Amino acid sequence: MKRAAARTESMPPRTRTALRRMAGRLLTGLTLTGLTLTGCAAQHRTPPEAPSHRALTSDEQDTLTRAEHVLVEACMRAQGYEGFPLDSPDSPDAQPVPPRPARLAHVLADRSWAAEHGYGIAEQRRSGAGPGSTPASRYAQKLPEPDRRRFLTVLYGKERTGLSARLPSGTVTASDQGCTARARHALYRDLPHWFTGKVIDENLTALTGTRLHAEPAYQAAAARWSACMQTHGVSAASPGALKARLPELLAGDDPAGTTERRIAVTEAECAADSGLAGVVDGLVDPLTEEVRAPYRSDLDTYRRLQLQALPRARAAALR
């Protein structure tokens, strides 16, 4: 650098002036293109991370759900199934779902909700819809075996192949054939990427729960919660273990769900008394972000496809 400076100083004045002007223009051009100079080296600025696409509102999600079922119904009707039962929010047998308490998947901590709804099991039973039951599945159960197989093949495809999403627990697969897949392709266009994002999104809570249960603070609070439950005559090592025992514990429950509500209230009270509710509140959000990080691109693509599908969904709903 010193030798270069000496050579510059030995040049005629006009030449030195011209070189300085050229250097000034070059520096200005570098600055405008996002480069800065430090000494003799140029450093490139790291561009900011692109903002994620927003999540859908509940009304927008309902719009997509309605549109999907309109398209499925049209497809099934073309295959000879008139009066196909819809699983949409507008279905005649759709039951209003009370807002679920926050963190319900990890622990029931809302005493007033527990006193009114229990775990929602008796309410589902009274509506004629058990866990996982839909109008389509109930319709299929009424068909003779050969007709049932054909109905499910037309609706969901013959084999669970064509779509897949990998999770730590294994690979989830589904068919890319059948009326359900056709309806979703019509809405989202990129069915493989939509399916991958949907599976990840639906499993975030379970993946977070796995991490949560390994936290020492959770394990200590769960032990206190278990001891509290034991004093009320309910044996369970954790809220998850309690959920697994519910079919056994509620086997002789009355239609109103009296036993169910009593156990749910006990869980909520013990969640507060043991401090488990507070521990869960403090850990779930940061753990969810850690779990979400490796899948951020897939989830962002999933939301983008949902948002892009809204105009098509609104048009389908007008058919």
Predicted local confidence at residue 8, as pLDDT: 45
3-state secondary structure of 283: helix
Report whether pLDDT(15) > 60. Answer: no
- Tell me how far apart the alpha carbons of residues 130 and 121 are, in angstroms, rounded to a whole number: 8
Report whether pLDDT(49) > 80. Answer: no
Distances (CA, A) of 287 to 136, 194, 224, 272, 282: 36, 24, 22, 21, 9
Confidence band (pLDDT; 50, 70, 90) for 247? very high
The DSSP code sequence of 209-234 is HHHHHT-HHHHHHHHHHHHHHHHTT-
- Tell me how far apart the alpha carbons of residues 110 and 126 are, in angstroms, rounded to a whole number: 23
Residue 17 lies in a domain: no
Residue 140 lies in a domain: yes
Q: Which residues contact 270 (CB under 8 A, 6 or more apart)?
A: 225, 228, 229, 232, 276
Over residues 77-122, the pLDDT tens digits come to 999 988 767 665 555 455 555 677 878 999 999 999 999 999 999 9
Residue 12 lies in a domain: no
Predicted local confidence at residue 60, as pLDDT: 96
Report whether pLDDT(21) > 80. Answer: no
- Tell me how far apart the alpha carbons of residues 233 and 75 are, in angstroms, rounded to a whole number: 53
Residue 113 lies in a domain: yes
Q: What is the mean pLDDT of residues 180-188?
A: 97
Smallest CA-to-CA distance from 151 within 164, 173, 135 is with 135
Report whether pLDDT(51) > 90. Answer: no
Name which residue leads in pLDDT, 33 or 251: 251
Predicted local confidence at residue 41, as pLDDT: 36
Smallest CA-to-CA distance from 298 within 213, 172, 212, 146 is with 172
Radius of gyration of the chain (CA): 30
Total domains, the chain = 1
Residue 261 lies in a domain: yes
Confidence band (pLDDT; 50, 70, 90) for 16? very low
Residue 208 lies in a domain: yes
Overall pTM > 0.85 = no
Residue 69 lies in a domain: yes
Residue 2 lies in a domain: no
Q: What is the pLDDT of the chain when averaged over all its residues?
A: 83
Over residues 158-176, the pLDDT tens digits come to 999 999 999 998 999 999 9
Q: What is the mean pLDDT of residues 147-153?
A: 94
Look up the domain containing 272 and give its range. Answer: 58-317
Confidence band (pLDDT; 50, 70, 90) for 242? very high
